[in-house]
Chains A and B, each alone.
Chain A
């Protein structure tokens, strides 16, 4: 499956990586919803690191849409919280 890290680019991950990815995503969301900024940063950093580590960068000659899109690596806690309400990172 293709994962995009917003503002960075697309990575292709194997099906085997999906459960781990899902777990990391859930941990980040739980920390975010629980208002635990430090824990959010840690789990979100792990999520990004996992995609960079396990994924193969998608070539520039491919025009495939991503299956999932992660927020930018430098996303702030406030921005991540806004992801769950209102307009999210990309208004309009």
Chain B
């Protein structure tokens, strides 16, 4: 059969014969193939560990983004409660960007999960074939004449060699995909670190300007409530000012906050 399958078969068979050409004596071929199989099995295990590591990294990033979404949502509520609709809008816009990024991370994690599962299956299949090869190897060594052993060894080694080439290909493809995702995650992280995303997504963990503005807002209300408290103390002797006490920005919250924040603020001017 020419075409795709024919070309693919030729390439794999060439690879296998290259693998087996190294040894000439049948017993040596057996041991050499077996040793190669064990090596590949170790490599597959390493490959799976790589995929798991990448998945964990993405899951960490995912968690950070989830926290970011919750934080931005809270900030938007706070801003709105304080009557700052523009700030609330900015927070909600950033929340949207973070959510979009989160969705793409979710699908990448799902892909890695699939890679991991496929590689685990490949590893099990290869392990079964190697076990089969190992027992065949002992039978061949014990029971057959040199000429016959040569034929049977070549059959078994080709079968297991093909499996090895295929697992090798599957692993290479899985790792290529993982590399691409890692590269993308690294790029996003570098951009975050450089502050490039600062005014777009606010993915960084440090204070961004929403934080600063909200701090400014809350300190304003702290100042307001402190003022109100001072006025109340001063006004104790002059009851006429009682009507001005509730005139702060947030009438409901300010008196309670003033009780808690008041003393420490007063001691550290």
**Chain A residues in contact with chain B, CB under 8 A?**
3-4, 6-7, 9, 21-22, 25-26, 28-29, 32, 44, 60-72, 74, 80, 83-84, 87-90, 92
Contact = CB atoms under 8 A, between A and B. Distances in A.
B3 interface: yes
B6 interface: yes
B169 A88 contact: no
Interface of B is mostly: helix
Contacts of B2: 29
B12 interface: yes
Nearest to B132: A61
B125 interface: yes
B4 A60 contact: no
Given A6-B166, A9-B125, A63 B11 contact: no
A49 B159 CA distance: 24
B110 interface: no
A9 B12 CA distance: 14
19 contacts: A6-B8, A21-B1, A25-B4, A25-B5, A26-B3, A60-B125, A60-B132, A61-B128, A61-B132, A63-B159, A63-B160, A65-B13, A66-B162, A68-B9, A69-B8, A69-B9, A83-B7, A89-B169, A90-B169
B129 interface: yes
From B2, B7, B8, B12, residue with most partner A Cβ within 10 Å: B8
Given A22-B1, A69-B166, A90-B168, 11 more contacts: A6-B12, A25-B1, A26-B3, A32-B4, A63-B155, A64-B159, A68-B9, A69-B5, A69-B8, A84-B7, A89-B169
B15 interface: yes
B43 to A, nearest CB: 15
Contacts of A29: 2-4
A9 B5 CA distance: 14
Given A63-B155, A65-B155, A90-B169, A83 B160 contact: no
B128 A65 contact: no
Contacts, number: 97
Nearest to A65: B158
A90 B155 contact: no
Nearest to B6: A68
Chain B's interface size range is 20 to 34
Contact of B133 (A9, A63, A65, A70): A63
B5 A68 contact: yes
A66 B9 contact: yes
B227 interface: no
B210 interface: no
Interface string B148-181: 0000000110111011011011100100000000
Contacts of B36: none
B160 A25 contact: no
Contact of A7 (B15, B132, B160, B170): B170
B231 interface: no
A88 B7 contact: yes
Contacts of B64: none
A3 B169 contact: no
